[in-house]
Amino acid sequence: MVIISATEFDPGAHLNSFMDASQNAGAIASFIGRVRGEHNEVESLYLESYADVTERGIENAESEARARWPLIDVLVIHRIGTMRSGDPIVLVATASEHRRSAFEACDFLMDYLKTEAIFWKKQTTKSGSEWVEPRAADYQDNKRWS
């Protein structure tokens, strides 16, 4: 399931619901990305998506993950709108019978979200606002799967 959320979400509560829904999964891997303090310089982060296009893209990545690994369930929640330091941006959870599949699929989906998912990110610090694009390291990580 893919959720693009314009309001703050509770990662622990979503993870618990996800676990409840896939009782046969012995292994649940998850990743939470959130607005870092960067030594408290970041005042806010704004994320923009392209409506259905963004959602369809993530759904395709989910399908690809399911084709590569034996997954029981997948959850992706991604924030848009304005966030502050400490707010969750993204939660990816993968449920599988075995831990290696769960870890790898979670890692794979995060790489997609960091480099290919259709989001634009604007960061506001004391010195102003700027659009942030993926780091070279993110592109490098993503190449591991091709």
Partner 1 sequence: MVKILYFGRLSDRTQCREETIDLPDDICTINALKTWLGQRHDLGDALNLESIKTMINQELVHGNESIANAQEIGFLPPVGGG
Return residues touching a second copy (CB under 8 A).
10-16, 19, 23-37, 85-86, 88, 97, 99-100, 102-103, 106-107, 110, 114, 137, 141
| C-beta of 16 vs 51, nearer to a second copy | 16
Alpha-carbon distances, residue 125 vs 72, 81, 111 (angstroms): 41, 16, 26
Distance CA 40, CA 85 (A): 8
Instruction: Provide the token pair at 111.
Output: 């790489």
Alpha-carbon distances, residue 38 vs 18, 20, 43 (angstroms): 31, 35, 10
- φ, ψ of residue 95 to 5 degrees: the values are -120, 130
Rg (CA), the chain: 15
**Binding site partner of 32, from partner 1, a second copy, none, Cβ cut-off 5-8 A by kind:** a second copy
Closest CB 117 distance from partner 1, rounded Å:
5
Q: Which residues, 84 to 113, sit near partner 1 by CB under 8 A?
A: 89-90, 99, 110, 113
Binding mask 20-49 for partner 1 (x = CB under 8 A): -------------x-------------xx-
DSSP states of 23-43 as a string?
TT-SEEEEEEEE---TTTTEE
**Binding site partner of 66, from partner 1, a second copy, none, Cβ cut-off 5-8 A by kind:** none
Binding site for partner 1 (CB under 8 A): 33, 47-48, 50, 52-53, 78, 89-90, 99, 110, 113-122, 131-134, 138
